[in-house]
């Protein structure tokens, strides 16, 4: 059904929202105040944009030719100031929903072309073999010839990788491919491959020319040369296949700066959900740091980097499931700062323990304002005061946002 509607605001996924005859209608790639003609998808409250009849003054030309088709980006059509204000509002709203009326700073912008990890799908697209993203709210695969969000080495390699990786699928319809830019070249982790020895041999022969440093297919790794490393802050750390990495190197630098400011002059720090040690290694120049994490491979890469780096204060690593077994208030005694950077689910069990602790400085890093707000509420109820909240635009043009919050008691 075709309709003409006015977009009143953006929803949490960055789609424009209009009031339709039967309730809200979500229209991607539109902006508040716009009058648009849409094709409504009956029964699910979503619509496709047919035409913008009256454009918002905030509408700009997208920087990517795939925008509007590819589901990777939701918000390239919005002027940067308005876009960053909207992202900040998402954080304000999440905190408000937990009764936290805290000042939220301006969003720290991150430049395009700085994303060093991409999660892509390889398979049949509408026009043949494709390596790219899905069309928004669809299973259709879009072959991505350019992607201005990705770092140049990843973006430039996509067409060649598509052709070279396809024979490794061994008849499977689709494979999930994560490409990471490392110092030694591209690190590729694939799920859903079924390579024959001959196909793998043929790929290995081309890998160096393609700039590929390692391929891990369904858990089995084959490095083409030296094991891949990534630079975290200023330190080189070996990258275990699949270990967490902050998506953008520029965003990582901003996060490290904010975490450093938050811990101040602390001399004993606990880094919880430490991963490869993005914060541990940055903080260990001035403080002894205990790093807690479930991923053993990440922790051993972190310890090895710490041992190799001169002039660091002692770093200790602990394999620990902080959901089931958070550090208790007693164990937290003696730390003068704690950093916690959990997955999207947040860290309610750990936040509840921190809330009972006497740790003077707590820095929370999160890619999910909703669970962050829940965890901050626990800390505030335990007597902490929120000193600052800073959003960082790590997930450029998507509705997602990274946030750093500093709390004190």
Ligand X SMILES: C[S@@+](CC[C@H](N)C(=O)[O-])C[C@H]1O[C@@H](n2cnc3c(N)ncnc32)[C@H](O)[C@@H]1O
Residue nearest to ligand X (CB): 275
The angle, 0 to 180 degrees and rounded to 10, between the axes of the packed helices 152-165 and 197-210 is: 150
Please tell me whether residue 218 binds ligand X under the rule CB under 6 A: no
Cα distances from 183 to residues 20, 212, 226, in angstroms, run 51, 11, 10
Please tell me whether residue 284 binds ligand X under the rule CB under 6 A: no
Q: By rule CB under 6 A, what count of residues binds ligand X?
A: 18
User: Is residue 41 within 8 Å of residue 14, measured between CB atoms?
Assistant: no
Q: If residue 49 lies in a helix (H) or strand (E), which one and from where to where?
A: strand 46-54
Please tell me whether residue 274 binds ligand X under the rule CB under 6 A: yes
Which 8-state DSSP code applies to residue 167?
Answer: G
Q: If residue 155 lies in a helix (H) or strand (E), which one and from where to where?
A: helix 152-165
Instruction: Name beta bridge partners: 175.
Output: 122
Q: Which of 15, 58, 295, 375 binds ligand X (CB under 6 A)?
A: 295
Three-state DSSP state, 108: strand
Site for ligand X in 219-248 (CB under 6 A): 244, 246
Min CB(276)–ligand X separation in Å: 5
Please tell me whether residue 343 binds ligand X under the rule CB under 6 A: yes
Please tell me whether residue 157 binds ligand X under the rule CB under 6 A: no
Task: Point out which span in 19-27, 71-79, 162-170, 268-276 binds ligand X (CB under 6 A).
Answer: 268-276
Question: Which of 256, 285, 250, 283 has the alpha carbon at shortest distance from 269?
Answer: 283
Please tell me whether residue 278 binds ligand X under the rule CB under 6 A: yes
Three-state DSSP state, 268: strand
Min CB(341)–ligand X separation in Å: 4
Supply angle C-alpha 167, 169, 175, rounded to 5: 135
Tokens of 169: 């699928």
Question: Which of 28, 62, 23, 64 has the alpha carbon at shortest distance from 45?
Answer: 23
Min CB(313)–ligand X separation in Å: 18
Q: Which residue, 78 or 322, is less far from ligand X as judged by CB?
A: 322
Please tell me whether residue 293 binds ligand X under the rule CB under 6 A: yes
Q: Is 367 a catalytic residue?
A: yes
In angstroms, rounded to a whole number, what is the distance separating the alpha carbons of residues 271 and 300? 15
Instruction: Name beta bridge partners: 373.
Output: none
Please tell me whether residue 318 binds ligand X under the rule CB under 6 A: no
Q: Which of 38, 104, 213, 322 binds ligand X (CB under 6 A)?
A: 322
Min CB(25)–ligand X separation in Å: 34
- Given 64, 70, 367, 388, which residue is catalytic? 367
Q: Which residue, 286 or 348, is less far from ligand X as judged by CB?
A: 348
Min CB(289)–ligand X separation in Å: 12
In the complex, the residues that contact ligand X under the rule CB under 6 A are: 244, 246, 273-276, 278-279, 293-295, 298, 321-323, 341-343
């Amino acid at each position: 059904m075709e309709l003409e509607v006015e977009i009143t605001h953006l929803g949490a996924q960055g789609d424009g929202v209009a009031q339709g005859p039967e309730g809200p209608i979500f229209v991607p790639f539109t902006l508040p105040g716009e009058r648009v003609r849409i094709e409504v998808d009956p029964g699910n409250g979503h619509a496709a944009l047919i035409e913008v009849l009256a454009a918002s003054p905030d509408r700009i030309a997208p920087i990517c030719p795939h925008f509007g088709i590819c589901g990777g980006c939701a918000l390239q059509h919005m002027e940067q100031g308005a876009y960053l204000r909207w992202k900040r509002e998402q954080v304000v709203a999440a905190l408000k929903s937990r009764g936290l009326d805290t000042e939220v700073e301006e969003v720290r912008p991150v430049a395009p072309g700085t994303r060093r990890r991409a999660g892509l799908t390889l398979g049949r697209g509408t026009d043949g073999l494709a390596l790219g993203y899905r069309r928004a709210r669809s299973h259709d695969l879009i072959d991505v010839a350019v992607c201005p969000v990705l770092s140049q080495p990843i973006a430039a390699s996509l067409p060649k990788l598509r052709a070279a990786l396809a024979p490794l699928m061994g008849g499977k319809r689709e494979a999930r491919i994560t490409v990471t830019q490392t110092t030694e070249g591209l690190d590729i982790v694939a799920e859903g491959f079924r390579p024959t020895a001959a196909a793998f041999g043929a790929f290995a022969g081309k890998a160096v020319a393609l700039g590929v440093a390692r391929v891990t297919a369904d858990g089995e790794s084959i490095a083409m040369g030296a094991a891949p490393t990534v630079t975290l802050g200023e330190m080189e750390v070996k990258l275990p296949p699949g270990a967490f990495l902050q998506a953008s190197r520029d965003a990582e630098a901003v996060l490290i700066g904010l975490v450093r400011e938050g811990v101040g002059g602390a001399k004993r720090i606990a880094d919880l959900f430490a991963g490869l040690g993005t914060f541990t290694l940055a903080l260990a120049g001035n403080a002894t740091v205990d790093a807690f994490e479930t991923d053993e491979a990440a922790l051993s890469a972190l310890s090895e980097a710490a041992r190799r780096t001169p002039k660091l204060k002692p770093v200790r690593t602990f394999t620990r499931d902080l959901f089931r077994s958070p550090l208790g208030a007693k164990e937290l005694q003696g730390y003068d700062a704690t950093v916690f950077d959990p997955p999207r689910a947040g860290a309610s069990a750990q936040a509840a323990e921190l809330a009972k602790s006497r740790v003077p400085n707590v820095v929370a890093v999160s890619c999910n304002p909703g669970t962050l707000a829940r965890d901050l509420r626990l800390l505030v109820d335990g007597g902490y005061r929120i000193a600052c909240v800073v959003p960082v635009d790590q997930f450029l043009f998507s509705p997602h946002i990274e946030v750093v919050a500093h709390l004190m008691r």
